[in-house]
Amino acid sequence: MKKFLPAKRAMLTLYLLMAVIGLFLNAILYRYVTMAPDYVITIISQAVWGLILLVSIFVIPHYFLRAKLVIVGDEITAAGGYFTYRTDHMRIGAVKSVSVIITPLGTFTGLNFVVINALGARAFMSFYKKKDAEAIADIINKRIREMAKDTNSEEKK
């Protein structure tokens, strides 16, 4: 059994991105919205920061606490979600391809993704360390090759 959890670096990166987005929106709001009274701009700014704070306190940690990928035998189980909890079970025999998306600074940020394509299904796993994303792909590809080899040897008999 192999269990993979999202990278904590990705959570920190998301926090930093949320802060940058907040600063950017505030800069635009205070710089370019000159028609509205100051108290309206202040209320909008506070609402933006309140929303960012709610997302940072509840949504992001909720995802990182519940998300996981487990590979046991010939089955893959992916669990997680932002607002709802979803568990996907997929047989490795049904997997047709595995894609690993490594972002340019993925080693430092943890913003790496694994996409598993199967017959009629797709599992998209987010925010893994580069090493973990590559290990997931290697494990699944190795098991697919073993299953194909076993199938070919049975057909020859």
pLDDT by residue (tens digit) across 78-99? 998 877 888 888 998 899 999 9
Annotate 46-88 with DSSP letters as a single string: HHHHHHHHHIIIIIHHHHHHH-EEEEETTEEEEEE-SSS-EEE
pLDDT by residue (tens digit) across 37-69? 999 999 999 999 999 999 999 989 998 999 999
pLDDT by residue (tens digit) across 101-153? 999 998 899 999 999 998 888 888 999 999 999 999 999 999 988 888 887 77
Structural domain spans, the chain:
1-157
- In the structure encoding, which two tokens stand for residue 37, read together? 């009274």
Kindly give the pairing relationship between strand 68-72 and strand 2-4: antiparallel
| The domain defined by 1-157 carries CATH number 2.30.29.30 | yes
